Amino acid sequence: NYQLKRANPSVFSIINGDPDKIHILKGGSIESPQGGVSPGVLSLFEGSEGPTSLTDNKNGRRKELAKWITSKDNPLTARVIVNRIWQWHFGQGLAGNPNNFGGTGKLPTHPELLDWLAATFIEGDWSIKKLHRHILTSATYQRMTTHPDPQALARLDPENISYASFKPRKLTAEEIRDSMLAVSGELNPTLGGIPCHPEINEEVAMQPRHIMGSVGPAYQSDPLPSQRNRRTLYAERTRTLADPMLEVFNKPGPDLSCEKRETATIAPQAFTMLNSPIIRSRALAFAARLEKERPENLNEQIRLAFRLAYHRIPNDLEMKISLEYLANSKKEHEANEQEKVEMPKYVVRQMVEEMTGQAFWWVEDLDIYAGGDYEPDLKPWDVEPATRALGDLCLVLFNSNEFIYIY
């Protein structure tokens, strides 16, 4: 009976116990407690008004802290949020150090604007959607990327703190992946839920990962496209296994707080966008969508491709170049058949015995690929040469500045 009771499922429960008494520790030593400390908030924040103490009861402490953080008398929270969202849209914040609003941080370039946006944000019930609308419909955001007198602008305002023109912003790694999924019609926009496991580079997925003296399992993506093609926000992050596609586009690691994304432009980014099998699958799915929505009409397929990727229609020269490119690409694909590549069913692992130094091997089954439930993305051997040629054109659109940057 005892063994049966131990096997019964159990859950953790939470109770509100009596809070411990907290003391100031002289010199940081637990052996030298001084006066007692009651729950409260920091009184050093400039502009903070009202009492700094919170409830002494064992219930409601977190709620009291949340009320203080979002109080209209505490503008710091709103300023920080507004500054980060402004930085997201313009590539630079109104205050130069998003992680440091203290005395050692940079002063805001437009303090009145920062305060006005913070006040408007609070009055709008802390609605981030309303804040986005305020910024995106402003004349500042809608300015052209070129200035009538660029030489004078470079001389008088080299850092563009006057926002006399809009500085093109490169999409982040997550935005690039999500944009390709959205344009190809594969994006699953479902909100919330468990983390997803998208496709990553196969060599990286199969490499051995040493975890606590052992080897971690090989990375396997979710079996269904609707599961793995969710927004990158929901992708599971593993410290010892970064997605190479996201990493090459400067996605920060999980170890440190990143106050501002790097926007380096390096050769591996171009190689990834052109040669990655995952991105080529996005381009092929994009082509299949065009053929489905505009069947038997190549000109309309090109127009739809430009409209989805660039939000505009192609001009006459772009249409001519696209048609010529498709004709040449189709001939090339007709002359070269695609051989089917099977997904691996297992991977062979090797380690060295710590005590004897002898090597040993074992086979790790890849159950998702071997079980028959895996539904692969569209591959070149699944479609006709005309579709592969259209996929090449879609890949060119993905690799353009007009797709990668916001102008």
Q: How many CA atoms lie within 13 A of 66 on its CB side?
A: 4
Residue 60 has pLDDT above 90, yes or no: no
Res. 46 pLDDT band, cuts 50 70 90: very low
pLDDT for 275: 94
Find how far residue 156's CA is from the centre of its chain.
Answer: 35
Within a domain: residue 1?
no
Chosen domain end from 8, 34, 69? 69
Q: Exposure pattern of 216-239 as b/e (b: 16+ CB <10 Å)?
A: eebbbbbbebebbbbbbebbeeee
- Check whether residue 211 and residue 94 sit in a common domain: no
Rounded Cα gap, residues 260 and 52, in angstroms: 31
Beta bridge partners of 211: 214
Chosen domain end from 138, 167, 196? 167
Within a domain: residue 106?
yes
- Check whether residue 88 and residue 192 sit in a common domain: no
Q: Which residues contact 237 (CB under 8 A, 6 or more apart)?
A: 254
Rounded Cα gap, residues 271 and 267, in angstroms: 6
pLDDT for 337: 87
- Check whether residue 115 and residue 48 sit in a common domain: no
CA angle, 119 as apex, 116 and 122 as ends, to 5°? 150
pTM for this model (two decimals): 0.85
- Check whether residue 184 and residue 323 sit in a common domain: yes
37 versus 81: the higher-pLDDT residue is 81
* 236 phi-psi bin (left φ>0, alpha ψ -120 to 50, beta other): beta
87 versus 65: the higher-pLDDT residue is 87
User: Between the CA of residue 9 and those of 1, 14, 86, what are the distances in Å?
Assistant: 15, 17, 49
Q: CA torsion, points 35, 36, 41, 46, in degrees to nearest 10?
A: -10
Which domain, by its residues, includes 393? 173-406
- Check whether residue 193 and residue 220 sit in a common domain: yes
Res. 51 pLDDT band, cuts 50 70 90: low
- Check whether residue 140 and residue 182 sit in a common domain: no
- Check whether residue 122 and residue 232 sit in a common domain: no
- Check whether residue 124 and residue 44 sit in a common domain: no
Place of tokens 């849209």: 89
pLDDT for 104: 78
Helix/strand/coil percentages in the chain, nearest 5: 45, 10, 45
CB atoms within 10 A of CB 132: 13
Give me the mean pLDDT over the 291-315 stretch: 96
Burial (0-12, 13-18, 19+ Cβ within 10 Å), 81 = middle
Within a domain: residue 12?
no
Q: State the total domains in the chain.
A: 3
- For residue 83, which amino acid is it? N
Residue 34 has which token pair? Answer: 């001084």
Chosen domain end from 69, 93, 108? 69
Q: CA 141, 250, 378, 220 torsion: positive or negative?
A: negative
Within a domain: residue 245?
yes
Res. 6 pLDDT band, cuts 50 70 90: low
Mean per-residue pLDDT of the chain: 88
Give me the mean pLDDT over the 248-255 stretch: 89
Q: Which residues contact 62 (CB under 8 A, 6 or more apart)?
A: none
Residue 260 has which token pair? Answer: 């501002």
User: Between the CA of residue 108 and those of 82, 111, 115, 153, what are the distances in Å?
Assistant: 12, 5, 10, 20
In percent, how much of the chain has pLDDT > 90? 54
- Check whether residue 31 and residue 161 sit in a common domain: no
Within a domain: residue 374?
yes
Res. 69 pLDDT band, cuts 50 70 90: confident
Residue 150 DSSP code: H
Residue 363 DSSP code: E
Rounded Cα gap, residues 57 and 105, in angstroms: 36
Q: How many CA atoms lie within 13 A of 284 on its CB side?
A: 17
In percent, how much of the chain has pLDDT > 70? 93
pLDDT for 309: 97
- Check whether residue 61 and residue 85 sit in a common domain: no
- For residue 18, which amino acid is it? D
Burial (0-12, 13-18, 19+ Cβ within 10 Å), 285 = buried
- Check whether residue 208 and residue 357 sit in a common domain: yes
Within a domain: residue 9?
no
Within a domain: residue 8?
no
- Check whether residue 163 and residue 312 sit in a common domain: no
pLDDT for 1: 54
Rounded Cα gap, residues 65 and 55, in angstroms: 9
Within a domain: residue 16?
no
